[in-house]
Amino acid sequence: MLTARTKTGKIICLGNEYKKETLLAFRNQEEFICPVCGEAVILKLGEQRIFHFAHKRGGSCLEFSEGETENHLKGKLQLYRWLVSQNIPAILEYYDREIAQRPDIMFKFQGQRYALEFQCSPIPERIFIKRTRTYRDNGYEPLWILSHQHLHFKKRNVLSLSNFHYLFLRTAKTGKFYLPSYCPDERLFHLADSIIPYSVKQAFVQHSIYPIEKLTLSSLLNPPTAFKKLWLPGWERELEKFKMQWSLHPRANTNHFLREIYSQNMNLFLLPAEIGLPVPHSLFIQTSAIVWQTYILLDVLKEKKPGDLLKLNEIRGKLNRRIARKNIMIRHLPQLDSVDYMVPVKEYLYVLERFGILLQQDIDSFQLLHTIIIPRSNREKEELRSAFYQKVMTFSQNNK
């Protein structure tokens, strides 16, 4: 930890860049106490780690564990000094006794009180949600920043994201979703946005990197919008790889899906090109787009004839049954104000409308114009795929 108080009540914050000689004098003259539990702490001024306070062996404090890493100490110290350099009132390791929580940094900005947490180790989802809710219920805006060591890029624009990573997703004023992370060793912010998952744990993203000296707090809270259209052939290529891995290493929920489509005389590798399409809010649904869009085909579209109406309430009812059976999982995103899985579903219906399959009649209904053809052979699949991508190209050219 980086903050302690003396027995006389004076707060010593190591974020204030004391010289070592000054700290040595403090250590010789003062006794230090943990501001949370009141136990005695030791001021450590070694050469290997940054200067910090530590509880004596056998201490019982739950707030400041002895397992605090060098990465965490460096990160919150750099972030604190970054805020101070912008003349933003900030307190390092502020302990709010009313809620019994201690953010790494508490600061005020534009009339709002923030609780900044630099997270370097995984924590259970229930604890993350509880702490986030407690902050919000008590007038704080939580700002969770993930240590960049937890992010793993498969390619420049493909990122592995677990449920833990998605907890850090936040919304800018523009409405854009992004995931902030920070690397203390390189002093770099990494922002991942335009996140479109193609499987439970893999997603296409836009990745931006900013030196800490070049990024202001305003820009961190509201990153510049630089949305780029997803390259559909690249998406399809990753989707095919995912299908192959899926078929080679199936899990229990995968087996259920595969058995169901086989019972409908369908094949994972012969799904129509209209299945598994990217939509902006697909991250609201944890289940792969291949799965939930196939269920829309099986439960709704396949039962209709050209000219029939599709009601949104009907689609919601069918999907609710899938969710109740855990065929579809909705993602927990505690930092977002609302997560409605029908948002990506509607986006998918609008995509089908662009390609002449549906026609919106009013705010709550679509008319089926053409059935989605399910290919029966690789040759038919390629023919239908070529026709579909011709529509995609025509649509893209008309909207330039």
Q: What is the pLDDT along the chain (400 residues), one digit of tens a residue?
A: 787 888 777 777 777 776 777 777 777 777 777 877 778 887 787 776 777 778 877 666 755 554 678 889 899 999 999 999 999 999 998 989 899 899 999 999 999 999 999 999 999 999 999 999 999 999 999 999 999 999 988 777 899 999 999 999 999 988 889 999 999 999 999 999 999 999 889 999 999 999 999 999 999 999 986 556 666 777 888 888 888 888 777 676 678 898 899 999 899 999 999 999 999 999 999 999 999 999 999 999 998 999 999 999 999 999 999 999 999 999 999 999 889 999 999 999 999 999 899 999 999 999 999 999 999 999 998 898 888 878 777 665 555 5
Q: Would residue 366 count as lying in a domain?
A: yes
Amino acid in position 93: E
Q: Would residue 9 count as lying in a domain?
A: yes
Q: Would residue 44 count as lying in a domain?
A: yes
Q: Would residue 37 count as lying in a domain?
A: yes
- In the prediction, which pLDDT does 48 show? 67
40 and 81, same domain (yes or no): no
209 and 92, same domain (yes or no): yes
20 and 85, same domain (yes or no): no
292 and 320, same domain (yes or no): yes
Count of the separate structural domains present in the chain: 3
* C-alpha count within 13 angstroms, C-beta hemisphere, residue 324: 6
User: pTM value?
Assistant: 0.86
Of 156, 190, 221, which closes a domain? 221
Whose tokens are 């579209």? That residue is 301
Instruction: Report the candidate in 17, 10, 14 with the shortest Cα–Cα distance to residue 2.
Output: 14
Q: Would residue 144 count as lying in a domain?
A: yes
31 and 152, same domain (yes or no): no
Q: Would residue 188 count as lying in a domain?
A: yes
Residue 310, domain extent = 269-398
Output the domain CATH number for residue 92: 3.40.1350.10
288 and 312, same domain (yes or no): yes
Q: What is the DSSP letter of 327?
A: S
172 and 94, same domain (yes or no): yes
Distance of alpha carbon 310 from alpha carbon 353, whole angstroms: 12
Q: Would residue 6 count as lying in a domain?
A: yes
- Which secondary-structure segment (H or E) carries 160? strand 158-160
Of 221, 244, 279, which closes a domain? 221
Q: Is-contact 128 167, C-beta < 8 A?
A: yes
190 and 79, same domain (yes or no): yes
- In the prediction, which pLDDT does 41 show? 82
Of 62, 80, 107, which closes a domain? 62
- In the prediction, which pLDDT does 251 show? 72
**C-beta neighbour count of 245 within 10 angstroms:** 12
In DSSP terms, which residues pair with 367 in a beta bridge?
309, 359
207 phi and psi angles, rounded to 5 deg: -120, 120
100 and 37, same domain (yes or no): no
Q: Would residue 122 count as lying in a domain?
A: yes
Instruction: Report the candidate in 218, 223, 221, 276 with the shortest Cα–Cα distance to residue 246.
Output: 276
CA distances from 357 to 310, 343, 372 (A): 12, 19, 7
Q: Cite the DSSP H helix spans in 249-304.
A: 252-263, 289-299
73 and 207, same domain (yes or no): yes
74 and 211, same domain (yes or no): yes
Name residues whose C-beta falls within 8 Å of residue 59's C-beta, 6 or more positions apart in sequence: 34, 37, 39, 66
157 and 40, same domain (yes or no): no
- In the prediction, which pLDDT does 271 show? 92
Amino acid in position 135: Y
Output the domain CATH number for residue 378: 1.10.10
